Structure 1
Amino acid sequence: MATGDYNLAATARAIGEPARAAMLLRMMDGRRHTARELADVAGVVPSTASAHLGHLVRAGLVTAVAEGRTRLHALASPEVAAVLEALAAVSPLLPVESLREARIGSRLRAARLCYSHLGGRLAVVLTRALVDGGVVGELAEGASSTVHSFDHPLLRALDITDLPPGSAPAARGCLDWTKRAPHLAGRLGTAVATRLLDHGWLRRRPRDRALTITPTARAHLDRLGLGSAAN
């Protein structure tokens, strides 16, 4: 029998263990990962990682799919990703203990995947350009917007003329922990991130969810008057 309110403590307990939190952040790239990959991220052995992943699956935060003899793990839904990004916006940064960690942090702040859409300084600047250009209405955290037009230089450069199918909102604000300002989520956000990768403006990195901003992107952004987005 259901009680009168949500059991937030159960979800908090699932996320609250540092190894599990590290795994969830890694899965924010929207891809499926093996327990061994996630063990490396969390700094634990694969058997321990499997136990943690089982806990996250039971909590409804992660799904596991068998592919041959391998189990692949991913975030359970875009809603889980939205919750993680919102928590990141009110969470302190982890201490930096090496030059490698400092470099990863810098890359994450510049451009990263936020599940199916783009996050980081680049995302915030591009979102502002689309709002100012009348493509979407003013975006607030969690608020949806319609797409008013595809007649924008950025969308033309990325060959975006319509929205991908799906039940997600056409556009939605997602609070970016880097700039404390909304970046673009929803189906248009997915389309922008997908085309940035397909057109070679951004490249995935193999061991984290940061994205490399390529010289191709810098050249296009300069021509669009958005060169500051890549800095």
Structure 2
Amino acid sequence: MSAEPDIASVAHAIGEPARAAMLLQLMDGDAHTARALAAVAGIAPSTASSHLRRLSEAGLVEVAEAGRRRLHRLAGPEVAQLVEALAALAPPRLPERLQPDRRAGPLLHARACYGHLAGQLGIDFAAALREDGVVGDLTPGETGVLHTFDHPLLAALGIGELPDTGPAVRGCLDWSHGTVHLAGALGTALLRALLGAGWVRRRSGGRALRITEAGRHRLGELGLV
């Protein structure tokens, strides 16, 4: 008997276009019904149930009951890291009907990545905070510390503390640009604060984000856009 991990079973679960499309949609960090994920993948809801069961059996997706609805989400941040790492290696080979978001420009510019900020806007935030010593240099998957809250970006967004849940800062590989954006509690706090302040809005039908006029103005004042 081999003691090596059975990565083939996980790869087999991911390696089907409809299931891959569902996992990419679940990278928005929200919980979705089978019907909603079926629409993303371009398949029938009845077919989606079997695909989601396969993902659940592989430990990639978890299911929760919400009244009469069954909601699906990624099983944890380690699954999100896996999907993001695969996306960084993979060419865009899915057929157009299976693309989770056909508007490549908005998706690359700003998006949600399992509850934190990604895309060019996320990279710009990470670079600004790193250059000013708020966080240190991070490689993908590496955890770090938040050295100070004393920074104009954090002050403007009202971020003065972080929940004591998991690492304060973690480097997350941004598949669209091949560099690191911020995950961990700080990355989550940034996305929540941007949404709460109305500086960004979620685009319908995907995980891309839209910078509002107010957000563009404030971010411009802060040297981000």
Does the alignment reach a TM-score above 0.5? yes
Deviations 1:41-68 (A, max 9, x none): 0010000000000101111100111112
Q: Counterparts of 1:197 and 1:102 in 2: how far apart (Å)?
A: 20
Aligned to 2:178: 180
In 2 relative to 1, CA 9–95 (structure 1 residues): closer, same or farther, beyond 3 Å? closer
Contact preservation (8 Å) 1:145, 1:171: yes
Deviations 1:97-145 (A, max 9, x none): 59x9886111110001100211100100110000001110011111111
Task: Indicate the SS of the match to 1:33.
Answer: coil
Q: Counterparts of 1:7 and 1:224 in 2: how far apart (Å)?
A: 47
Aligned to 1:211: 209
Aligned to 2:74: 75
Task: Indicate the SS of the match to 2:103.
Answer: helix
Q: Counterparts of 2:151 and 2:214 in 1: how far apart (Å)?
A: 19
Contact preservation (8 Å) 1:173, 1:184: yes
Task: Indicate the SS of the match to 1:172.
Answer: strand
In 2 relative to 1, CA 136–6 (structure 1 residues): closer, same or farther, beyond 3 Å? same
Q: Counterparts of 2:103 and 2:186 in 1: how far apart (Å)?
A: 27
Q: Counterparts of 2:27 and 2:38 in 1: how far apart (Å)?
A: 15
CA drift of 1:85 comes to 0.6
Matched, 1:56 2:52: no
Contact preservation (8 Å) 2:21, 2:100: no
Which TM-score applies when normalising by structure 1?
Answer: 0.92
Matched, 1:130 2:129: yes
Is there any run of 5+ residues in structure 1 with no aligned partner, and where?
none
Q: Which amino acid aligns with 2:167?
A: P
Aligned to 1:19: 18
Aligned to 2:2: 3
- TM-align CA RMSD: 1.7
Deviations 1:176-229 (A, max 9, x none): 1111110001111111111011111111122101111111111011111222xx
Contact preservation (8 Å) 1:28, 1:81: yes
Of all paired residues, the percent bearing the same amino acid is: 53
Contact preservation (8 Å) 1:96, 1:102: no
Tell me how many residue pairs correspond in the alignment: 224
Task: Indicate the SS of the match to 2:27.
Answer: helix
Matched, 1:33 2:32: yes
In 2 relative to 1, CA 95–49 (structure 1 residues): closer, same or farther, beyond 3 Å? closer
Aligned to 1:44: 43
Q: Counterparts of 2:224 and 2:80 in 1: how far apart (Å)?
A: 28
Aligned to 2:139: 140
Which TM-score applies when normalising by structure 2?
Answer: 0.95
Is there any run of 5+ residues in structure 2 with no aligned partner, and where?
none
Q: Which shifted more, 101-110 or 56-65?
A: 101-110
In 2 relative to 1, CA 133–109 (structure 1 residues): closer, same or farther, beyond 3 Å? same
Q: Which amino acid aligns with 2:202?
A: R
Deviations 1:140-174 (A, max 9, x none): 111111110011110000000111231x2110110
In 2 relative to 1, CA 17–49 (structure 1 residues): closer, same or farther, beyond 3 Å? same
Task: Indicate the SS of the match to 2:62.
Answer: strand
Aligned to 2:200: 202
Contact preservation (8 Å) 1:164, 1:188: no
Aligned to 2:220: 222
Task: Indicate the SS of the match to 1:179.
Answer: coil
